[in-house]
């Protein structure tokens, strides 16, 4: 991208910062109906993503609705969250924008996936927007700065300001996948409140096979043993795919309980292509995220909650667009919720909107705190 276009884009993105979007009447609609479509028509998905990271890393962030909701404050994995809404992995892949994301009003941030060695990922273009379908398809293939660069960056980040998750991936060419993950815990664990073993991205050949019963149990047992040696003992979570058979789900639940991990993330992107898709990019290879994933991932949250007897906290992610989607995942068994694709289409005001709506729904159903609603569908 030319220097001129980059400067123009930074200026465009910074407009709401200077105006302060709380002063813009109907800011949520302004972003979803005007600003985001303009940005999307000017920039490819990957360029827009890089610009967003740049703005956030420079602190050029529209001041989020700062309203705190007592009902939304919760304790999970021994950590206190001001609210249960986090940014999912894949947005801040290289741990560059943690403070900016904190300012947007998220209750926690997950960075990554980070691989041991730096790698470029797949050839471009590798991200596609399907706006009519409220979908994104990506095949980034773990483009990563690698452990060392991430560690240097995280070293400068003041720990303790926001709950931080670090999502680990494996290198494409690696043969010792266990070492890829255990090295990640050794090198990056001290910066993390929780670590994610990502065995569910569809764009790294063979990765999803690590979800098999014995492989997963062995991998997790090794990772848990390494984390026990760290002074801060971050929680260990496993992120799973939505494309699983009933047997797969039972195997995963067994492996997670046996290996004593602390929780799971449900779910990554899907390789399925719903018949409802209309956009011409619908047949692009890669993982699909967004609206059509919402029901599928909520159902999987419910299944995994039941299969693990509610013993493992779950982060629910997939197609969350509003407070009701988040609430549905919580009632299905999620203790925390993440978003990614909806943020691409709706922009930063979505964070405040989801929190406000979730608070209203909890109020309406008489819950004093969000923690009481976790798994309510099963009671
Ligand atoms: C462009 C893009 C890149 C992603 N990269 C990663 C990644 O590196 N690691 C990971 O665990 N998940 C990754 N994800 C998956 C998201 O974290 C999330 O699980 C999924 O998109 C479903 O949530 P959503 O429908 O709210 O986007 C990525 C998603 C998108 C859209």
With a 6 Å cutoff on the Cβ, whether 239 touches ligand 1 is yes
At residue 25, the pLDDT reads 40
**Geometric angle at alpha carbon 109, from 103 and 115, rounded to 5°:** 135
With a 6 Å cutoff on the Cβ, whether 119 touches ligand 1 is no
Alpha carbon separation from 358 to 30, 132, 256 (Å, rounded): 21, 25, 30
Atom nearest to 294 CA in ligand 1:
25
Of 201, 235, 259, 335, the active-site residue reads: 201
Where do the H-state alpha helices sit in 270-348? 293-307, 323-332, 341-346
CA of 90 to the centre of ligand 1 (A): 5
Q: Which helix (H) or strand (E) holds 135?
A: strand 135-138
Arithmetic mean of pLDDT, 324-353: 96
Q: Which of 106, 138, 21, 11 is nearest to 343 (CA)?
A: 106
At residue 16, the pLDDT reads 55
Split at pLDDT 50, 70, 90, the class of 307 is very high
Neighbouring residues of 38: CB distance < 8 A, sequence distance ≥ 6: 12
* Of the candidate ranges 206-215, 228-237, 350-359, the one whose mean pLDDT is the lowest: 206-215
Q: Tell how far CA 224 is from the center of its chain.
A: 22
Q: Could you tell which of 268, 294, 295 is best to mutate to test the pocket of ligand 1, judged by most ligand atoms within 8 Å of the CB? A: 268
With a 6 Å cutoff on the Cβ, whether 341 touches ligand 1 is yes
Write the pLDDT tens digit of every residue in 3-54.
666 666 656 655 555 444 444 446 888 888 888 998 898 999 999 999 999 9
Domain count, the chain: 1
CA–CA gap between residue 292 and residue 284 (Å, rounded): 16
Q: Domain range for residue 328?
A: 3-378
Q: Could you tell which of 90, 108, 181, 265 is best to mutate to test the pocket of ligand 1, judged by most ligand atoms within 8 Å of the CB? A: 90
Which of 19-33, 203-217, 224-238 is modeled with the greatest confidence?
224-238
Split at pLDDT 50, 70, 90, the class of 182 is very high
Residue 65, pLDDT > 70, answer: no
For position 333, which CATH number holds? 3.20.20.70
At residue 233, the pLDDT reads 96
DSSP 125: P
Residue 144 annotated among the catalytic residues of the structure: no
Neighbours of 3 (CB within 10 A): 7
């Amino acid at each position: 991208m030319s220097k001129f276009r980059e400067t123009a884009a930074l200026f465009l993105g910074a407009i709401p910062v200077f105006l302060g979007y709380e002063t813009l009447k109907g800011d949520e609609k302004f972003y979803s109906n005007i600003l985001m479509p303009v940005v999307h028509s000017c920039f490819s998905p990957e360029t827009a993503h890089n610009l967003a990271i740049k703005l956030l890393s420079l602190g050029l962030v529209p001041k989020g609705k700062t309203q705190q909701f007592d009902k939304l404050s919760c304790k999970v994995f021994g950590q206190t969250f001001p609210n249960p809404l986090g940014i999912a992995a894949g947005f801040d892949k290289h741990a560059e924008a943690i403070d900016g994301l904190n300012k947007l009003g998220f209750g926690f941030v997950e960075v990554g996936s980070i691989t041991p060695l730096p790698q470029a990922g797949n050839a471009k273009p590798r991200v596609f927007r399907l706006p009519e379908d409220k979908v994104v398809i990506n095949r980034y293939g773990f483009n990563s700065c690698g452990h060392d660069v991430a560690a240097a960056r995280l070293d400068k980040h003041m720990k303790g300001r926001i709950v931080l998750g670090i999502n680990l991936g494996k290198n494409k060419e690696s043969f010792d996948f266990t070492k890829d993950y255990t090295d990640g815990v050794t090198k990056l664990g001290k910066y993390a409140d929780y670590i994610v073993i990502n065995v569910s991205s569809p764009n790294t050949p063979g990765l999803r096979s690590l979800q098999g019963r014995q492989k997963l149990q062995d991998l997790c047992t090794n990772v848990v043993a390494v984390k026990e040696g760290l002074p801060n003992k971050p929680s260990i979570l496993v992120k799973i795919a939505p494309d699983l058979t009933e047997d797969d789900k039972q195997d995963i639940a067994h492996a997670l309980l046996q290996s004593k991990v602390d929780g799971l993330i449900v779910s990554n992107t899907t390789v399925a292509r719903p018949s409802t898709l209309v956009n011409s990019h619908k047949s692009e290879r890669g993982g699909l995220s967004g609206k059509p994933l919402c029901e599928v991932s909520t159902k999987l949250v419910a299944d995994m909650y039941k299969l693990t007897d509610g013993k493992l906290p779950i982060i629910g992610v997939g197609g969350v667009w509003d407070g009701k989607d988040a609430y549905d995942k919580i009632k299905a068994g999620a203790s925390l919720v993440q978003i990614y694709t909806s943020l691409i289409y709706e922009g930063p005001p979505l964070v405040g909107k989801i929190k406000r709506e979730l608070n209203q729904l909890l109020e309406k159903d008489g819950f004093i705190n969000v923690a009481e609603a976790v798994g309510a569908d099963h009671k």
